[in-house]
Amino acid sequence: MDNQSLDTIYRSYMIDIYRYLLSLCGDSYLAEDIVQETFLRAFLYIEDINNINNIKPWLFSVAYHTFVDVKRKAKFNVIKEDYFFGNIMQMDSPEKKVILKKQVQEIRQIINKMKEKQKHAILLVDFHQLSYQEAATVMSVNVPHLKVLLFRARKAVVKRQYERSKFDE
């Protein structure tokens, strides 16, 4: 692999990897460090990948495993950056923006309280739009298990939102 193609890969996927890691660790500086470590590991092992068309899920897998290594050392995992989930969708009116920001904040709190595997499943599939197969590969689980994790995570989000709406009435 030449430097030009590695540079292209970095430019193409760095933002996605950064956002994914930021959503996992909640610390922008730590996410930047893990992104750098991810691409260092990718550089070291890029020759081993057979199909360069599947580079995105492979990079997410490298990022996930790098995050797990860092987490084992640091023992923390909090989603706290307000701007990350707040910029998912552009809205027209200020009222819609305020409502969306509140909803996103509630969902972020719900996701933050989930079990690790459920949290990773919903982040990879629903927020980063990886396919089931790609997300399962990143998480080192089979596709049916990923679907179970995703179903439970989505169900928890809906249930907690319903409970909050009943509480607000």
Q: Which pLDDT does position 142 carry in this prediction?
A: 93
Q: Which pLDDT does position 7 carry in this prediction?
A: 80
Domains identified in the chain and CATH numbers: 1-78 (1.10.1740.10), 88-169 (1.10.10.10)
Residues in the chain: 169
Q: Which pLDDT does position 105 carry in this prediction?
A: 79
In tens, the pLDDT along 23-74 reads 888 888 889 999 999 988 888 877 766 556 678 888 888 899 898 888 877 6
Residue by residue, what is the 3-state secondary structure of 15-43? HHHHHHHHHHHCCHHHHHHHHHHHHHHHH
Q: Which pLDDT does position 168 carry in this prediction?
A: 62
Of 7-16, 70-79, 98-107, 123-132, give the lowest mean pLDDT range. 70-79
Average of per-residue pLDDT across 93-116: 79
